[in-house]
């Protein structure tokens, strides 16, 4: 079986497109996909991997639904999945978390997605792309890649634990309120997801060495278990992905602020980051 690095540049992926073991998944908007996508890529609607119900709309759907989704896109145990989107990695990173959860850890992220691919001047396909369906069964989830509300409540304040809040600074401070309450989880550090993308370089991830230094300065170090969240675990798909690329012990809090901010019993802190 072919093995490829977690982070692939467009110029690295292009000569690999003839590999039959590749399954390329586009998580961007459908109209963007129909206009231009990486040759051979299959489109996957992000809604298919969301529970979509309160209090945790950003959680994964049922095992049966996951089995249907991954069968419909043609996933098999031998496939190496390459994921990308049209927004710099939020949905793609969330798909990588979903793959972790179902135990399929053979995957790569196309750095910058379709924007970087086009910037590199590489050929694209247009129109729909039919998948060769498979019979993929998700029998259970690997819970090592997530933390739930109760686990986070237990871990708050522990030296070997950190929380990366990927929302905007105004959401974090409580100035912008989307759930019943605004603010942030006590002790969480805020670094908005879009700050981690290079808009000049086709939304590729910022310089990795500098990003690593930044995370260390925020206390998001390799010796800690790091829970990341946003409002519904979409934006924090990017931070989950970047953390993995930079060797962090990442966990997704899929309930995110939709759950935490709507629960009157959870502790909330307001104000700007210290």
Residue 239, classed as helix, strand or coil, is helix
247 is catalytic: no
* Given 230, 241, 254, 258, the catalytic residue: 230
Set out the domains of the chain in order of their start, with CATH numbers.
Answer: 7-142 (3.40.250.10), 146-260 (3.40.250.10)
pLDDT, one tens digit for every residue, the chain (274 residues): 568 999 999 999 999 999 999 999 999 999 999 999 999 999 999 999 999 999 999 999 999 999 999 999 999 999 999 999 999 999 999 999 999 999 999 999 999 999 999 999 999 999 999 999 999 999 999 999 999 999 999 999 999 999 999 999 999 999 999 999 999 999 999 999 999 999 999 999 999 999 999 999 999 999 999 999 999 999 999 999 999 999 999 999 999 999 999 999 999 999 997 6
Q: Are 100 and 41 a contacting pair, CB within 8 Å?
A: no
Length of the chain in residues, anyone? 274
DSSP codes, 80-139: EEEEE-SSSSHHHHHHHHHHHHHT---EEEETTHHHHHHHTT---B-S------------
Give the global pTM. Answer: 0.96
pLDDT of residue 15: 97
pLDDT of residue 136: 97
Angle at 32 between CA 30 and CA 37, to 5 degrees: 100
* 146 DSSP assignment: B
- Residue showing tokens 């997530």: 146
**Count of beta carbons in the 10 Å neighbourhood of residue 117:** 26
pLDDT of residue 58: 95
| Closest alpha carbon to 101 in 67, 78, 133, 135 | 67
**What is the maximal distance between C-alpha atoms in the chain?**
53
Indicate the helix (H) or strand (E) that contains 65: helix 63-72
Alpha carbon distance 91, 114 (integer Å): 13
pLDDT of residue 273: 79
């Amino acid at each position: 079986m072919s093995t490829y690095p977690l982070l692939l540049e467009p110029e690295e992926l292009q000569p690999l497109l003839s590999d039959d073991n590749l399954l390329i998944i586009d998580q961007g908007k459908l109209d963007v996909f129909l206009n231009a996508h990486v040759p051979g890529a299959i489109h996957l609607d992000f809604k298919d991997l969301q529970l979509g119900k309160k209090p945790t709309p950003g959680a994964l759907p049922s095992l049966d639904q996951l089995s249907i989704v991954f069968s419909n896109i043609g996933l098999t145990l031998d496939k190496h999945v390459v994921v990308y989107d049209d927004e710099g990695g939020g949905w793609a990173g969330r798909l990588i978390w979903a793959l972790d959860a179902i135990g399929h850890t053979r995957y790569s992220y196309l750095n910058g997605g379709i924007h970087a691919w086009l910037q590199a001047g590489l050929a694209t396909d247009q129109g729909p792309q039919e998948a060769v369906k498979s019979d993929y069964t998700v029998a259970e989830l690997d819970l090592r890649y997530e933390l739930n509300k109760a686990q986070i409540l237990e871990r708050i304040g522990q030296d070997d634990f950190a929380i990366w809040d990927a929302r905007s600074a105004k959401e974090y401070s409580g100035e912008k309120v989307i759930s019943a309450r605004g603010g942030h989880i006590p002790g969480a550090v805020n670094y908005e997801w879009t700050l981690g993308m290079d808009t000049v370089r086709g939304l590729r991830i910022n310089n990795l060495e500098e990003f690593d230094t930044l995370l260390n300065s925020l206390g998001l170090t390799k010796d800690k278990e790091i829970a990341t969240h946003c409002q519904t675990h979409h934006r924090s798909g990017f931070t989950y992905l970047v953390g993995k690329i930079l060797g962090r012990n990442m966990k997704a809090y899929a309930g995110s602020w939709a759950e935490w901010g709507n629960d009157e019993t959870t502790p909330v802190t307001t104000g700007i980051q210290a």
